[in-house]
Chains A and B, each alone.
Chain A
Amino acid sequence: MNIIIFAKVRFLFRISINLREILLTMNKVVNNAHEAIKGIESRMTLMLGGFGLCGIPENCIAALAASDITGLTCISNNAGVDGFGLGMLLRRHQIRKMISSYVGENKEFERQLLSGELEVDLIPQGTLAERIRAGGAGIPAFFVPAGYGTEVADGKPVREFDGKMYLEEHWLKADFAIVKAWKGDTHGNLVYKSTANNFNQVMATAGRITIAEVEELVPAGTLDPNHIHTPGIFVQRIFQGTNYEKRIEFATTRPD
């Protein structure tokens, strides 16, 4: 009798541990991009990782382009190209404002900018990265030399440190940060590949909710903890993306 009860308790205990593991896991893992972007509403501010078309969250961008969400403020180093990347959202007039460092390579973008449909805030690339880092790290303001004496300095407090002039810059945060990683695990730990890291790692820290789409999603415990770029604490939703196109803007090769 005692033995049977003990076995039963052990069995129930084991089930409860398994359930607990499953529930913890289920907290972050979603099935696809459509589930991942739940809660994104019109007029929200989004951060989207990537440099040009390298390391962009293709699945989530496609899901946003298939939605009725409009009036978005998008913080992204670039604005995609015609018909791909953020160009997909621009084509459907879903973006109200871009906060970027460089926005070339996009005719529809130019048209909307010149016609006044689209607002653009151009920020030096390093200042953009640091404003995002500050947002994620809880630092409301800081000083940088970039832009001192230029139109970027308009309206900003300046201060001298060790004989050099600096501009006061402020943090950037987003309702949702959407990043793309190479590998991720069920706890939200992320590893990026080569120069597809770029703005993804820093943006992952600055979203009220951070969505990570990854090429390969593995169980927690599979990735080497020494190699994690983004610790899972920064990631609230994760899924394995599909059909990555990874378009190349300028394919350059050496002569054979």
Chain B
Amino acid sequence: MSLDKNGIAKRIARELHDGYYVNLGIGIPTLVANYIPAGMQIVLQSENGLLGIGPFPAADGIDPDLINAGKQTITAVPGAAFFDSSASFAMIRGGHIDLTVLGAFEVSDTGDISSWKIPGKLVKGMGGAMDLVASAQNIIVAMMHTNPQGESKLLKKCTLPLTGVGVVKRIVSDLAVIDVTPQGFKLVERAPGVSVQEIINATEGRLIVEGDIPEIEL
């Protein structure tokens, strides 16, 4: 059975290490915060100027001066820090963020990513996505393996305008965990009950399959 959004988030949470500073994008990546292992110290960055994102506030604790990059009201954890946008992107560009998790429309087998613009649809802007993908030490993409028409989103070459070139290190999809290597995609794990052949069929880019592929443990 393929993973749902929470399953993808749960698997990505296993990539976290104690002491990590992490930036989570909008959508599935945000759900990763729900699966941080108990006792692990993770500091979540919001690029609008906060290290130490806490849970959503109680109804009587909403503060309009405290939002995340998705413009949702949030809280700050004890030990949090606020700063301005240029300091925020100095953290990102300077390689101080240990892990960035974001969504994508398409990823290529050379690690290119398209995530901000679909021709014919109104362009809203790239926000901080281009800065994040160009600079993070480690980038994991959370995405569905295919589009609603069943076409692969893991391609030889991205068809949509790019967000970054050669930047993606790992993909966690509803079907598999896949690394981006100099030889192309490499299958690391498969979703429980999903066969290697199903993943091969759903992957248009070059895909290396070596030996037994273990199932994703959640």
Contacts and interface: CB of A to CB of B under 8 A. Distances in A.
A74 interface: no
Contact of B135 (A52, A77, A145): A145
Among A52, A125, A148, A192: residue with most chain B CB under 10 A: A125
Interface residues of B, number: 52
Contacts of B88: 126, 129
Interface string A141-152: 000111111111
A248 B74 CA distance: 11
A14 interface: no
A40 interface: no
Interface in A107-144: 110, 113-114, 122, 124-130, 132-133, 144
B198 interface: no
Contacts of B131: 124-127, 144, 146
Contact of A247 (B50, B64, B83, B135): B64
B212 interface: no
A198 B83 CA distance: 7
B125 A195 contact: no
9 contacts: A100-B125, A104-B124, A124-B128, A126-B131, A149-B165, A152-B126, A195-B67, A251-B62, A253-B59
A158 to B, nearest CB: 11
Interface of B: 46-50, 55-59, 62-74, 76, 82-86, 88-89, 92-93, 112, 122-131, 134-135, 161-166
A195 B69 CA distance: 10
A202 B71 contact: no
B86 A195 contact: no
Contact of A246 (B64, B71, B164): B64
Contact of B134 (A77, A103, A146): A146
Contacts of B59: 253, 256
Interface in A179-205: 182, 192-202
Given A101-B127, A254-B56, A150 B161 contact: yes
Interface of A: 51-55, 77, 100-105, 110, 113-114, 122, 124-130, 132-133, 144-152, 182, 192-202, 229, 246-254, 256
Given A54-B65, A229-B84, A101 B58 contact: no
B83 A197 contact: yes
Contact of B66 (A128, A144, A152, A195): A195
Contacts of A77: 85
